[in-house]
Chain A
Amino acid sequence: MTHMIDISGLLASVRRPARYLGRELNSVSRDPQQAEVHLALAFPDLYEVGMSHLGLRILYTVANSISGIYAERVFAPAADLEQLLREQQIPLFSLESRTALNRFDMVGFTLQYEMSYTAILLMLDLGGIPLHSNQRGDNDPFVLGGGPLAYNPEPLAPFFDFIVIGDGEEVLPEVLETYRIWKKKGPRKRESFLREAALIPGIYVPSFYRDHYGRDGKFTGVEVLAEEASLPVQKRVVSDLEHAVYPECFVVPYMEVVHDRAVLELFRGCSQGCRFCQAGYVYRPVRERSAEKLREQAGRIIANTGFTELSLASLSSSDYPPIGELITSLEQDFAKEHVSLSLPSLRADADAVRLADRLKQGRAAGVTIAPEAGTQRLRDVINKKVTEQAVLEAAAVALKDGQNHIKLYFMLGLPTETMDDLAGLVELVRKISAVGRSGSGRKKGPPRINVSVSTFIPKAHTPFQWEPLLDPEEIKQRQDFLRRELRKIKGVAFSWHGAPISLLEAMLARGDRRLAAVVEGAYDLGSRLDSWDELFSFSRWEEALAAAGIPLHHYTSRPLAFTDPLPWDHISTGITKEFLIREHRKALEGGITPACRGGVCAGCGLGCADGYSSQ
């Protein structure tokens, strides 16, 4: 008996039907009826975004390599398919076997971006799964989540049965095995599985914790309701990345996806310690793959997929010690195969830009340099260890030989930022423009510089987690200043993020459980893929906030004290609060903490003991 949903009529009626087609090269096709555990890996955004995500590909490979497990993919539908699904009462389906979401044993969501929370509710709703875990019956799937935003899952707490804290490839096999054994013993209450799951290190079952608030509305802490639940929940880490499962048979999309290429993961974690960067803290410690291993993987991935581009990915790829050797060996291996290499994240210095230049990367669109802040003082505050001299050298490399484009990334609203820092930003852009004009082999007038300025958002588990978001009026004024001043430099294009979306990101990034009502309210009012600018509406969120009686500024502009209990205190990244407080104080004094590669341990609490060691 098959439960395959017939979607050929739908495919003919929607835009970009390849989003829903499935059956790509290297996708895993099995009979779901034969699976002991049937898992849906759900990504709360469109196919072209989700298929660009490495974590999803890793987990797809990990789960499908376990015998008895069948893992499929499911993505959020665009509005046209949503409408057809509702009209024709067809449930949201998986790509591989076109099975309704509510027929799976488990549905696991990747938590990547705050503005995709409403897409999670959309997928549950269309998949026929009750939104709240306490409304799900014994035939409903277990809904789990994981990924970088799992470190503060509270605004999503009522919607998830459990949350994975840490590296998924480490925890997911244990979850699946526990479930397999539990399921074999015959039908029982859902809660009995959750009690078993809670005993797995790294598993957080939100319903086993109750949140408390004071009379002033401030969060005061959580109370543990089940003896199986741990406090805090410790993140899990893949300690041996070299031998961890890694996809070598990437699914090859038919349609063009955002990052349409094969990916090598050079290392996980980052040693830079930029104080605004959540990924830099929650993915610690740094774990590397050897250049030999990466070279082997690259050969197999390209042979298995036919991709023409290979990305050497990590949080800061120019920090990979043997990066030069790796590139040389890959260039040898692929000399005749027409594979281009790319480096997505680079330090803002000349050595890093030389690497990109060597790969002929960004010839058309320009190399990207991210000084993040305009003055040395402010770069010290955020621990972005790059000098103006280094940025100018990097720009000189990026703009040599007649190359005329460069992209610059900055942040606005960083802690302690003043108008002097913004004037410094403008001055730095002016100097870079001058570097371009004086460079060798120049022909075409001033260099074209894209200056992208995002708004700083304080994130949980970083040294800046106690900092307020800049007031929205002030954000607008500072953006106006930059727009006005940057316009005076020829060839500069300025782009920025709208203040409303920053407000909501900040609210959810440090939110507590009460915000679940706001997320659900926004969904009920029509919020879907709010990560897409053209679909985003602030007024729906304002209305949802008003209906829930929740003042936005409580979460965004209220300064927090070191002594305040935080809604994510019961989730531990292994980094101590003492370290984050120390880093926060150091930041305000402009003190630098060196990168923890090369033996200088900053004492963050992870206890890599003798500093950083790669093996």
Chain B
Amino acid sequence: MHRYRIVFIKEGDFACLSHLDLQRTFIRTLRRAGLPLLYSQGFNPQPRLSFAAPLAVGIVGDGEFLEFDLINHIESETIKTALNGLLPPELAVRSVREVDPHAPVLASQVGAALYLVIFSPPVPELAPAVQSLLAAPVLEVERPGKKTIKRVDIRPFIYNLYLQNAFEEDKLLMFIATGNQGGTRPAEVMSLLPSQTGPEQVRRLAIFISSANDYITPEGEALSAYLDRLHLNTKESE
């Protein structure tokens, strides 16, 4: 058994695909590419695909992770070329690498995600609004379940919120909990902000695994290093 981890993007019109659509698309694309997928045992065998963290409909993904198992070893570059020949550019695969099949899948490790919310027009008084959110001990939102609507305190899931550029009230970074230990979503956080128009765009920049006393990306970059790089890039582009 060989496990591969791919990083792909989800952008443009394809940000509107649902998670189920995306799963179906990748299963069919992997099959169409002729890759020797390993199937689960049992009455209704399914290929073993594991997305690190489902992305809500409409959000752009800059680095989405998918892991799957193949029966044989295939060169990573071969997999990447085969998949990109079949997928639209908006779902392009950025990288493929083989990982330890006995280590836990990413989906079980992901604990947080960094989102960028771009408002257009900018939200007046966004900075103080963000400060008061961070100062609040409890932040309740309504979360619709299958039959009932639950009230959930999402404050524990908000690790940090800050403006990407301190003086421009149009780009908000959210570092929030996600994964199987509980979490929140950008839409829930935004429901607590005084925006009139809704965001122009929401992007998930990266997902993070919690390690000893830091968060690291699946590629092993620490959160602080990631953020430094992000701000450096932002400054360079200005």
Contacts and interface: CB of A to CB of B under 8 A. Distances in A.
Interface of A: 7-8, 11-12, 16-18, 21, 23, 25, 252, 254-256, 260, 303-308, 337-338, 363
> Which of A16, A23, A254, A303 lies at the interface centre, i.e. has the most chain B CB atoms within 10 A of its CB?
A254
Contact of B28 (A7, A21, A252): A252
B39 interface: yes
A18 B17 CA distance: 6
Contact of A306 (B17, B29, B43): B29
Contact of B45 (A25, A338, A363): A338
Contact of A8 (B12, B18, B39, B88): B12
A254 B24 contact: yes
Contacts of B57: 17
B167 to A, nearest CB: 29
Contacts of A17: 13, 16, 57
Interface in B2-34: 12-14, 16-18, 20-21, 24-25, 27-34
A12 B31 CA distance: 29
A12 B39 CA distance: 35
Contacts of A7: 13
A363 B58 CA distance: 36
Contact of A21 (B14, B29, B47): B14
B60 to A, nearest CB: 11
Give 7 closest A-B pairs by Cβ, nearest first. A306-B28, A306-B31, A306-B32, A17-B16, A254-B21, A11-B16, A255-B21
B17 A25 contact: no
A492 to B, nearest CB: 27
Given A23-B88, A338-B39, A305 B32 contact: yes
A337 B39 CA distance: 10
A93 to B, nearest CB: 13
Contacts of B32: 25, 252, 303-306
A308 B31 contact: yes
> Which of B14, B31, B37, B86 lies at the interface centre, i.e. has the most chain A CB atoms within 10 A of its CB?
B31
Interface of B: 12-14, 16-18, 20-21, 24-25, 27-34, 37, 39, 43, 45, 47, 57-58, 86, 88
A8 B17 CA distance: 13
Contacts of A307: 28
Nearest to A21: B13
> Which of B20, B25, B47 lies at the interface centre, i.e. has the most chain A CB atoms within 10 A of its CB?
B25
Contacts of A23: 13, 88
A25 B24 contact: no
26 contacts: A7-B13, A8-B13, A12-B16, A12-B58, A17-B13, A17-B16, A18-B21, A21-B14, A23-B13, A23-B88, A25-B28, A25-B29, A25-B86, A254-B17, A255-B17, A255-B18, A255-B21, A255-B24, A303-B32, A305-B32, A306-B30, A307-B28, A308-B27, A338-B37, A338-B47, A363-B43
B20 A256 contact: yes
B13 A11 contact: yes
A338 B71 CA distance: 14
Contacts of A305: 28, 32
A336 to B, nearest CB: 9
A306 B24 CA distance: 10
A260 B88 CA distance: 20
Contacts of A255: 17-18, 21, 24
> Which of B17, B21, B88 lies at the interface centre, i.e. has the most chain A CB atoms within 10 A of its CB?
B21
Nearest to A12: B58
Nearest to B57: A17
A18 B18 contact: yes
Nearest to B86: A25
A362 to B, nearest CB: 13
A348 to B, nearest CB: 27
Given A11-B13, A25-B86, A306-B30, 13 more contacts: A7-B13, A17-B57, A18-B17, A18-B21, A252-B28, A254-B21, A256-B24, A260-B24, A304-B32, A306-B27, A306-B29, A306-B31, A307-B28
> Which of B12, B18, B27, B45 lies at the interface centre, i.e. has the most chain A CB atoms within 10 A of its CB?
B18
A27 to B, nearest CB: 10
B42 to A, nearest CB: 12
Contacts of B45: 338
B28 to A, nearest CB: 4
Nearest to A255: B21
Nearest to A14: B16
A308 B46 CA distance: 10
Contacts of B28: 25, 252, 305-308
Contacts of A363: 43
A274 to B, nearest CB: 34
A11 B21 CA distance: 15
B134 to A, nearest CB: 29
A337 B30 CA distance: 12
A261 to B, nearest CB: 11
B25 A254 contact: yes
A307 B30 CA distance: 11
A338 B34 CA distance: 12
A63 B233 CA distance: 50
A511 to B, nearest CB: 40
> Which of B32, B33, B37 lies at the interface centre, i.e. has the most chain A CB atoms within 10 A of its CB?
B32
Nearest to A307: B28
B163 to A, nearest CB: 24
B220 to A, nearest CB: 33
Contacts of B86: 25
B16 to A, nearest CB: 4
A225 B100 CA distance: 77
Nearest to A25: B86
Contacts of A303: 32, 34
Nearest to A336: B36
A307 B57 CA distance: 24
B87 to A, nearest CB: 8
Contacts of A306: 27-33
Nearest to B32: A306
Nearest to A15: B57
Contacts of B34: 303
Contacts of B20: 256
Contacts of A337: 31
A70 B31 CA distance: 29
Contacts of A338: 37, 39, 45, 47
A18 B16 CA distance: 7
A21 B34 CA distance: 26
B57 to A, nearest CB: 8
A23 to B, nearest CB: 6
A303 B34 CA distance: 8
B88 to A, nearest CB: 6
Contacts of A254: 17, 21, 24-25
Contacts of B27: 306, 308
Contacts of B16: 11-12, 17-18, 21
Contacts of B39: 338
A248 to B, nearest CB: 13
Contacts of B37: 338
A20 to B, nearest CB: 9
Contacts of B47: 338
A17 B34 CA distance: 29
